[in-house]
A and B are shown apart, each in its own frame.
Chain A
Amino acid sequence: MTIATIDSSASQPARASLFYDPVIRGVVFQVLLALFIIYLVYSGVTNAANNLARAGIATGFGFLNNRAGFDIGQSLIPYTANSTYRQAFFVGLTNTIFVAAIGIFFATILGFIVGIARLSKNFLVRKVAEVYVETLRNIPLLLQLLFWYKAVLSALPAPRGSIEMFNSSVFLNNRGLIMPQYLAEAGASIFYASIAIGIAVAVVIARWAKKRQMATGQIFPTIRVALGLIIGVPLVVLFVLGVPFTAEYPELSGFNFRGGTTIRPEFMALLLGLSLYTAAFIAEIVRAGILAVSKGQTEAAFSLGLRPNTTMRLVIIPQALRVIIPPLTSQYLNLTKNSSLAIAVGYPDLVSVFSGTVANQTGQAVEVISITMIVYLTLSLLTSAFMNWFNSRVALVER
């Protein structure tokens, strides 16, 4: 009897009210949300149009072709006050990428050193690394930047009392770090070519050596040969050519230096702050990555007869990198985004040049800030796309 009842109820499902139908509920909810978002965007846009029209501010991106009329302290591409806002944008963008790239380079090196030092068996080394990480991580980056800029670099002596280094060829003062400049003469291109050829040959040899080792098991001293090709050969070429560079040494004339290249204090402060701060985070990532490789891996490698440094290179590091690289990429992204704090020390990066000066001059804040945001958004989406690709490539394949 009971079975029969269940069967009959199954063939005729009870008609629930439409109000409780999950599909309909879902659709209704989504339509409401969409209407709400459309309303927000619509009212925002109409308000903005009204407000801009009332304030007499032009809209559109035509301003990009107008004359900028302001100077930028540091520029990697040709720029004068007569250039357009578009060129000012590219100056800011290249400056941001420049400081981010160099910052990433130093932060990675320092971060790996400190991260490994935190795992050292040596008590002093371990503690010094720990104090470094805890201090730098727990103080806001902006404070560190202002500290380097206002309390350290501005407190350096004036050009006349510069700190001299390296046999009076490098000077440090409150105008920056002044170094000799090397100007290329005829024949320098041969030197550059020899470096390129060295790298190319080294790549070919490394591939061949790997193939041979896979096939025969014979080991080729790849690293030593590659170093010889990349550093040794160009050095020989350099001396054969008779050093085709002239050094231009900075000289004190009047109140400032002439000649040489200057690294401005704004750039130094930003670079110091960004790399020291990010290095503390990278150190923690490296430490966690190495700790994530279980001790059994080391023991297994030893029992196979691998030496300690081979174990490190072939067993520990490849596995640690799998854990390290995703958070490392996001630290690189953070460093790039944090470089926008340049505005506080006056380094002309994208935000400072574009969202700061250009927005103030043109009054077209909406367009300017949107462009800035789109640039950073593109950078971060590209990074996360790379991370997803990398993750799927190195993820452990299980079952």
Chain B
Amino acid sequence: MSDTHAETDVATTRLAFVRDDFLKSEAPPVREGGFGHWLKVNLFATPKDTILTILMALFLAWILPPLFNWAFFSAVWDGSNREACLGEGQGACWAFVDAKFGQFMYGRYPIDERWRVDLTAILLIVSLVPLAIPSVPYKKFNAIFLLVIFPIIAFILLTGQFGLPPVRTDLWGGLLVTLVVAIVGIVVSLPLGVLLALGRRSHLPFVKYASIVFIEFWRGVPLITILFMSSVMLPLFLPDGVTFDKLLRALVGVAFFASAYMAEVIRGGLQAIPKGQYEAADAMGLSYWQKMRLIILPQALTLVIPGIVNTFIGLFKDTSLVLIIGIFDLLGIVQLNFADPNWAAPQTAITGFAFAALVYFIFCFGMSKYSLYMERRLDTSHR
């Protein structure tokens, strides 16, 4: 009661210490946005920063114009043989890549049969893209198609079964072989990696130590020695008369190598699942395989999708090693074509490498961006 009384007093009586006019407004603060501010914060914040910026700008000015000049402005875009690329001060010889593009993609695969490779590639894209987009439904069927049915169809199409003219694998080459090695590696290594990871965490001592020895052995030696082993030693261990295709031997080596790495990635996922999940599954009376199939693996595998993609990136880059045992993958066939006297020019080698690097980069960079995207999507930690 007394409060209201006092308020009315203040409102009605004029007090000398209360202002009745507005303060004069202050000048607006210094602009905190815009290009000038961005420059100040990002490039010229301190004297040290300014020096760094100038040094970097000089470095870029030194390196970028010649690079662009080489790749675009003074590059040779068309021509039918080396004559086009012999000019003084010329840049990249893209005509070489243009002329050899078919080889770089298919190797020596017969030209009339190349539609089979194209069809396989289309099937792959059609089944892979929906699997990679999280919101598309029917993931289970999609995955089964990609991991089980697609390899069978691809095998039939590429090697030539059921009436299709057969194509020997030593005619395969280029990006085709790179993709075949990488995809076989991943398709075989996923299930094998799951088994090895489960084996490594098993309570059965023999299974556990057998898995550990297998994983550590393949992870401990360089891929190149594995490829040597599979190309030189594997035929020795097989009974007389059983011979393996050279490409298949390399595939066996790559698949085991990838499985060991995959097993470690998946083991990381298994370890990240809280113990309560295992105990809850046991309490429900599920058998070991039911527990793994229904409770543990679905959670563990989703958790390590980025790790699986990273393994795949590594595998994709490592496929280039097969050229050392004489299989002409993308890098191998590019290099083989340097020896072509029709295209012997100073810029041929560097252009070929640039092209191969670009192809590898597009694949690997794309996959790494996808893995980052999944990582962000799957990140449930509340930081």
Contact = CB atoms under 8 A, between A and B. Distances in A.
B42 A47 contact: no
B320 A121 contact: no
Given A51-B236, A122-B49, A369 B225 contact: yes
Contacts of A54: 240
Nearest to A378: B220
Interface in B205-253: 205-207, 210, 216-217, 219-222, 224-225, 228-229, 232-233, 235-240
A188 interface: no
Contact of B229 (A44, A373, A377): A373
B62 interface: no
B360 A140 contact: yes
A147 B353 contact: yes
> Chain B binding site: helix, strand, loop or mixed by DSSP?
helix
A67 interface: no
A351 B335 CA distance: 22
Contacts of A120: 52
A340 B321 CA distance: 11
Nearest to B338: A150
Contacts of B365: 134, 138
A139 interface: yes
A365 B231 CA distance: 10
A146 B321 CA distance: 12
A28 B265 CA distance: 29
B81 interface: no
Given A372-B225, A376-B220, A343 B59 contact: no
A298 B353 CA distance: 45
Given A29-B207, A146-B335, A343 B324 contact: yes
B151 interface: no
B320 A143 contact: yes
Nearest to B318: A140
A81 interface: no
B225 A124 contact: no
A50 interface: yes
Interface string B340-364: 0000001001100100110011001
B60 A128 contact: yes
Interface residues of A, number: 57
B142 interface: no
Given A29-B207, A47-B237, A355-B225, A380 B357 contact: no
Interface string A323-353: 0000000000000011011011000000100
A45 B177 CA distance: 32
A112 to B, nearest CB: 17
Interface in B316-341: 317-318, 320-321, 323-324, 331, 335, 338
B368 interface: yes
A33 interface: yes
Contact of A151 (B317, B353, B361): B353
Given A128-B56, A376-B222, A142 B321 contact: yes
Contact of A381 (B220, B357, B364): B220
B43 A369 contact: no
Contacts of B111: none
Contacts of A137: 364, 368
Given A139-B361, A369-B232, A51 B240 contact: yes
Contacts of B357: 139, 143, 147
A52 interface: yes
A44 B239 CA distance: 8
A369 B233 contact: yes
25 contacts: A26-B204, A47-B237, A47-B239, A122-B42, A122-B45, A122-B49, A122-B56, A125-B53, A138-B364, A139-B357, A140-B317, A140-B318, A141-B317, A142-B331, A143-B353, A143-B356, A146-B331, A337-B221, A340-B224, A343-B324, A344-B323, A359-B232, A366-B233, A366-B236, A369-B232
Given A137-B364, A142-B321, 5 more contacts: A33-B206, A121-B41, A128-B59, A139-B357, A146-B353
Closest 6 CB pairs of A and B: A138-B364, A380-B220, A123-B42, A140-B317, A44-B237, A337-B222
Interface of A: 26, 29-30, 33-34, 37, 43-45, 47-48, 50-52, 54, 120-125, 128, 134-135, 137-143, 146-147, 150-152, 155, 337-338, 340-341, 343-344, 351, 355, 359, 365-366, 369, 372-373, 376-377, 379-381, 384
